Amino acid sequence: MEVSTATKAGGLRGKLNKVVLAYSGGLDTSVIVPWLRENYGCEVVCFTADVGQGIKELDGLEEKAKASGACQLVVKDLKEEFVRDYIFPCLRAGAIYERKYLLGTSMARPVIAKAMVDVAREVGADAVSHGCTGKGNDQVRFELTFFALNPELNVVAPWREWDITGREDAIEYAKKHNVPVPVTKKSIYSRDRNLWHLSHEGDILEEPANEPKKDMYMMSVDPEDAPDQPEYLEIGIVSGIPVSVNGKNLSPASLLAELNEIGGRHGVGRIDMVENRLVGMKSRGVYETPGGTILFNAVRELESLTLDRETIQVKDSLALKYAELVYAGRWFDPLRESMDAFMEKITETTTGSVTLKLYKGSVSVTGRTSPHSLYRQDISSFESGQIYDQADAAGFIRLYGLPIRVRAMLEKGI
């Protein structure tokens, strides 16, 4: 491709050699390509990560990127890495943000940003760029990963620098710079999709009192329209990590894809919530996570057999912080990595299988089994047994309740 005079001499805002841009092929990132060349006099390498967003979003990307002025497009299939190294550790940890959010976008950003750092090294780039707005969480997630993995890279965030304020401005800029404007129909919602989930924000959802429209959902059917007959599933788990569905061993990405399809047709995994963004504001989002919802129920249920009371309590308390770190973009923070080592160790014996029933949006556990189960029928049974003598309970209660008894005696002057 021809290199413009601006590329040789520098741009309006300075000079960079080569920039790796997180690229989707949509209007915003298509406009960022010429903007980077004009303002930083640089070559632009577009990078697209396949994290399961769908094949339609990858069609014709190379032509779009080069038509926008990019020197090349790099596409990497990150689906297996995404599920194996990011989703499954969060699943094992039981990480849920603010009681509901299963961290779909939060987990995807660091795997994409890590790949961008790798591509920057491969192509000799001195900068990276993203199309995140200055109001959201994703700018933090991308940039903290860049800082952690290559602090020498320059980071360009056009939405924090340029004068473009909306879609019409972007279209005008594209036409001025001979950039083909994507002709895709503009969605009224802001969506993010990957193999784990699909999020919806914007339009009527910005008013928390509004019920989402039925036709908004894309990964799951309305529970009212789901089959009238329940479907049973058996999830096999090894050391806190899912490995099989109905006895069939699958790769991480294939396993999740299959559960998305099964859960989706039963209307499983819809969440509507108002969350606290990292940047301080509240936002309302609707999430579809059919496969993830099934897996969270399965892993958590198996832990009821394999972990004792105090271990579960400590694990649950750490899971809150773990989720907060992931949500805040601190995936490569030593604290999260240390907590992950704890989670891996504590779930070594969380191996077995869980049977679940899916029915009109609900996931019910119907059975669980593990070779490392701490449940003993001979102890738990109401029938008399040799290990547990019910008469021992009297002394235990007297000692356990002693502080309560002493306080009551003080209050009554005894």
Task: Look at residue 102 and give its three-state secondary structure.
Answer: coil
Q: Do the bridges between strand 241-245 and strand 248-249 make them parallel or antiparallel, or are there none, so unpaired?
A: antiparallel
Q: Is 28 a catalytic residue?
A: yes
Cβ contact 21:129 at 8 Å: yes
The answer to whether 196 and 108 are in contact (CB under 8 A) is yes
Q: What is the mean pLDDT of the chain?
A: 93
Annotated active-site residue 265? The verdict is no
Q: What confidence score (pLDDT) does residue 188 get?
A: 84
For 244-290, the pLDDT digits (tens) are: 999 999 999 999 999 999 999 999 999 999 999 998 999 999 999 99
| The pLDDT value given to residue 185 | 60
Q: Does the structure show a pLDDT above 90 at 377?
A: no
Confidence of residue 182 (pLDDT cuts 50, 70, 90): low
| Cβ pair 351, 239 in contact under 8 A | yes
The per-residue pLDDT for 8 is 52
The Cα 31–Cα 241 span in angstroms is 41
Task: Give the predicted TM-score (pTM) of the model.
Answer: 0.93
pLDDT at site 378: 81
Query: Could you confirm whether 228 is annotated as catalytic?
Result: no
Q: Which of 138, 199, 336, 370 is catalytic?
A: 138
Distance (Å, rounded) from C-alpha 96 to C-alpha 299?
13
pLDDT digits (tens, 9 = 90+) for 82-108: 999 999 999 999 999 999 999 999 999
Measured between alpha carbons, how far is 115 from 117 in angstroms, rounded to an integer?
5
| pLDDT at residue 381 in the model | 78
Average pLDDT over residues 113-134: 97
Q: What is the pLDDT of residue 7?
A: 46
| Active-site choice (4, 190, 244, 254) | 190
Residue 6 pLDDT exceeds 60: no
For the segment 11-22, what is each residue's pLDDT rounded down to a tens digit?
777 899 999 999
For residue range 65-82, what is the model confidence (pLDDT) as tens digits? 999 999 999 999 999 999
First-residue to last-residue Cα distance in the chain:
93
Annotation marks residue 109 as catalytic: yes
The CA angle 257-107-331, to the nearest 5 degrees, is: 145
Does 18-177 match 190-306+349-369 in CATH topology?
no
pLDDT of 172 higher than 70:
yes
* Res. 387 pLDDT band, cuts 50 70 90: confident
How is the chain split into domains, by residue range? 18-177, 190-306+349-369
For the domain made up of 18-177, give the CATH fold.
Rossmann fold (3.40.50)
- Per-residue pLDDT at 5 exceeds 60: no
Q: Which helix (H) or strand (E) holds 148?
A: helix 138-149
Flag whether pLDDT at 190 surpasses 50.
yes
What is the reported pLDDT for 385?
67
For residue 205 the two structure tokens come to 């959802």
Whole-number Å distance between alpha carbons of 359 and 31 = 45
Min mean pLDDT across 339-353, 379-393, 394-408 is at 379-393
234 membership: H or E segment, kind and range = strand 231-238
| Per annotation, catalytic residue among 24, 37, 106, 109 | 109
Single-letter code of the amino acid located at 271: I
% residues pLDDT > 70 (the chain): 95
Active-site annotation holder among 28, 50, 192, 340: 28
pLDDT score of 187: 73
Domain 190-306+349-369 CATH (choose: 3.60.21.10, 3.50.7.10, 3.90.1260.10, 3.90.1530.10): 3.90.1260.10
Helix or strand or coil: residue 344? Answer: helix
Name the nearest CA neighbour of 37 among 153, 106, 127: 127
